Amino acid sequence: GRQLQLREVGGILLQAATVDNWSEIQNFEAKPDDLLICTYPKSGTTWIQEIVDMIEQNGDVAKCQRAIIQHRHPFIEWARPPQPSARNAKDCMVSYYHFQRMNQVLPDPGTWEAYFETFISGKVGWGSWFDHVKGWWEIKDRYQVLFLFYEDMKRDPKCEIQKVVQFMGKSLDETVLDKIVQETSFEKMKENPMTNRSTVPKFILDQSISPFMRKGTVGDWKNHFTVTQNERFDEIYRQKMEGISINFCMEL
């Protein structure tokens, strides 16, 4: 396996390059009309980034082709840049596992059994899924936060995209909205070199191990979790999410 280690800042494990930029991240000041996307890894970050840019460009595909998504929506730790997007923990764990297999600048995830423990303990890059989701859920009503669920976006993309449009204070024609729904489908984004990470060199993302646009479904966890793992996970989830009235759809 890869001999790579994450580094810790304030109890959260991060990629070394992120830690190197830590003072810049801490000194980041948002402007009043900035839109920050605050996803836990593998919860549909790229998807919502593309949707937001499509809305900003009024559905103009050519304008959205001007650069790769990482440049149109820079990560706060990489450059300059709230809108949390949450995905159920089980599918998120599966997606993150495959991502760590192919991402050569993150630690090797080891076996699925080992990764299951790593994910539950929160000792993964950018911290614990539980802390992220709980944290945003608890403050969402006190700030201007639009909380979106990956599963809702899969079930009814038009309705969820419409929420984003409203949140951004815009209104779009029905035809533009329909176009955005089409252009941001998994199939389209998997083919699109500006969103599928195909321009990232193989020594960073090795898509022959697992494609960045992998499956894009709800319920893939059923192909990974054993019955025992599932029961154990549900119990841990109950403990960690106690008192939180959040409901995740686990299959469509």
Please report, as ranges, the residues that interact with ligand A3P according to CB under 6 A: 39, 41-47, 91, 95, 98, 184-186, 189, 213-216, 220
**185-190: long-range pairs with CB below 8 Å, 24+:** 185/157, 186/213, 186/216, 189/46, 189/47, 189/50, 189/213, 190/216
Shortest Å, Cβ 242 to ligand A3P: 26
Question: Which of 99/130 has CB closer to ligand A3P?
Answer: 99
- Residues near 235 by Cβ (< 8 Å), separated by ≥ 6? none
* Token pair for 37: 């996307």
Cα separation, 196 vs 214, whole angstroms = 10
Cα separation, 33 vs 175, whole angstroms = 26
Cα separation, 181 vs 160, whole angstroms = 10
Question: Which of 47/130 has CB closer to ligand A3P?
Answer: 47
Shortest Å, Cβ 221 to ligand A3P: 9
Question: Which of 99/141 has CB closer to ligand A3P?
Answer: 99
Is 163 in contact with 148 (CB distance < 8 Å)? yes
Shortest Å, Cβ 213 to ligand A3P: 5
Question: What are 85's strand-pairing partners?
Answer: 148
Consecutive H or E run containing 148: strand 148-149
What is the amino acid identity at position 200?
V
Question: Which of 199/235 has CB closer to ligand A3P?
Answer: 199
| Residue for token pair 């998997």 | 190
Shortest Å, Cβ 238 to ligand A3P: 24
Shortest Å, Cβ 50 to ligand A3P: 7
Shortest Å, Cβ 102 to ligand A3P: 10
Question: Which of 171/182 has CB closer to ligand A3P?
Answer: 182
Question: Which of 133/242 has CB closer to ligand A3P?
Answer: 133
